[in-house]
Amino acid sequence: MFENRAIGLALVLPAAIFAAALFLLPVGILLSEAFRTDTGWSVSAYGEFFASSRNQTVFFRTLKLASLVAGVSAVVGYAAAFAIVNLPASSRGRMFGLVTLPLMISPVARTYAWLVILGRTGFVNKFLVDLGITDTPLRILFTETAVFIGLLQLFLPLMIISLVSAMENMPRDAVPAARILGANWLQVFWRVILPLTREGLVIGGTLVFTGSMTAYITPAILGGSKVLMLETLLYQRVTVANDFVSASVIAMILITMSFSANLLLKRLATARKSR
């Protein structure tokens, strides 16, 4: 560690000034937009925003879909992560790579794939009709189901990664020991795996939850104007009505959510270090 504070400061300043000027300042002004009125400062814009039944619907839909995606990805993620950790070391790395592969691919391409698959003449409907499960093709696109499927695929890898790293830190004998002692699988999960991987679950859960809350392309393409979420509503308010007050309120909601999630993560990380 070098002691010269001036040099240190000089080295970090360009990056800090850059981020502050281009980032914090404009975003700060945007956030203040909802509090500024002709006569002074007020929080009335928030009341007005939530007074609209459409805005309420969009807000709760966003919360609902984000929680659902986080919940389902936790269930699937546990199964997949447990399977990966139990693979022989040689194939474990390869499998991990395959699971994380989608993260590297353009979200537009990923969402586009679902547009093809979930469409009325798409793969899923063809399959369902051929099997005789349904007579007429189902309407999946432009529903919450389509958005849910798209988001789940987008963010499931994050949950799996978090859970795999958590499980790798689990004592190797914990699960076999519990089994020998006569615990069934449900008990093993509840009493052994869950407590030992809680941290990974929280990390994965926050990543998936905030990711789903702030996703744009998936609700835009798979949901359309009938299944608006907060991000698509923001875009619509600005482009259609030049409504920066609503944009500011939505921005505040989204930033508060992401920020608290991030804070939570940091809290957890420091708790682990000090243990």
Partner 1 sequence: MKTLVLAGASTLALTAAAMAADKTLTISVYSFSQDEFKELVYDPFEEICGCEIVVETGNSIERLSKIEANKDAPVIDMAVLSTHDALGAARKGLLQPIDTSKLSNFDKLYDIAKDPLGDSMGVGYTFYATSIAYRSDKVTVESWADLLSPELAGNVALPDITTNQGPPALYMIGKALGDTDSSLTAPIDAVAEKADDIVTFYVRSSQLAQLMQQEEIWAAPVGRFAWGSFKDNGLPMAWAEPKEGQTGGMNVMVMTANNGNEDLALQFMDFWLSTEIQTALANALIDSPANAEVVVSDDIAANLTYGAETVDQLHLLDPATILDMRESWLEQWNAKVMK
Partner 2 sequence: MNSRLSTWIILGLTLTFLIGPFLIIIAAALSAGNNLAFPPQGLSLKWFIKVFEVESFRASFGVSMFLAIFGTLAALVLGVPAAYAMTRYRVPGAETVKLIVSSPIIVPGIIVGLALLQYFVIPIGAGIGPALFLAHTALILPYAVRVVSASMENLRVDMEEAALLLGCTRFGAFRRVVLPNIRGGLLAAFILGFVTSFNQVPVSLFLSGPGLRTLPIDMIAYMEINYDPSVAALSALLAFMSVGIVFAAERFIGLSRYV
Binding footprint of partner 1 on the chain (CB under 8 A):
52-54, 57, 119-122, 137, 139, 141-142, 224-226, 228, 236, 238-242
Structure-block tokens of residue 15? 């990056």
Element (H, E) at 36: strand 36-37
Interface with partner 2 in residues 183-242 (CB under 8 A): 214, 216-217, 220-221, 231, 234-235, 238
Smallest distance from partner 2 to CB 216, Å: 5
Among 43, 75, 105, 269, binds partner 2 (CB under 8 A): 105
Residue among 60 and 259 whose Cβ is closer to partner 2: 259
Say whether residue 112 binds partner 2 (CB under 8 A). yes
Listing DSSP states for 196-223 in one string gives HHHHHHHHHHHHHHHHHHT--HHIIIII
Least distance in angstroms from the C-beta of 12 to partner 2: 5
Task: Give the residue with the Cβ less far from partner 1, 210 or 218.
Answer: 218
The structure tokens 């956030």 sit at 31
Q: Is 177 in the site for partner 2 (CB under 8 A)?
A: no
Cα 89 to Cα 175, 178, 202: the distances in Å are 18, 23, 26
Class of residue 180 by CB neighbours under 10 A (exposed 0-12, middle 13-18, buried 19+)? exposed
Q: Which two tokens stand for residue 86?
A: 């139990």
Q: Which is nearer to partner 1, 146 or 252 (CB)?
A: 146
Q: Both tokens of residue 229? A: 């979420």
Q: Does 104 bind partner 2 (CB under 8 A)?
A: yes
Q: Can you say whether residue 88 is alpha, beta or left, with left for phi > 0 and alpha for psi between -120 and 50 degrees?
A: beta
CA distance 258 to 62: 14
Give the one entry of partner 2, partner 1, none that residue 240 binds, where binding means its C-beta sits below a cut-off of 5 to 8 angstroms depending on kind.
Answer: partner 1
Q: How far apart are CA 95 and CA 150, in angstroms?
A: 22
CB-nearer residue toward partner 2: 107 or 137: 107
Burial class of residue 171, CB neighbours in 10 A (0-12, 13-18, 19+) = exposed
Read off the tokens for 67.
């929680």
Stretch that binds partner 2, among 38-46, 96-104, 131-139, 186-194 (CB under 8 A): 96-104
- The entry of partner 2, partner 1, none that residue 226 binds, CB within 5 to 8 Å by partner kind: partner 1
| Partner interacting with residue 224 (select from partner 1, partner 2, none; CB below 5-8 Å by kind) | partner 1
From the list 95, 129, 174, 264, which residue makes contact with partner 2 (rule: CB under 8 A)? 95
In the complex with partner 2, the residue whose CB is nearer, 101 or 271, is 101
Task: Please state, as a whole number, how many other Cβ atoms lie within 10 Å of the Cβ of residue 38.
Answer: 5
- Give dist(CA 164, CA 252) in Å, integer: 33
In the complex, the smallest distance separating the C-beta of residue 263 from partner 2, rounded to whole angstroms, is 10
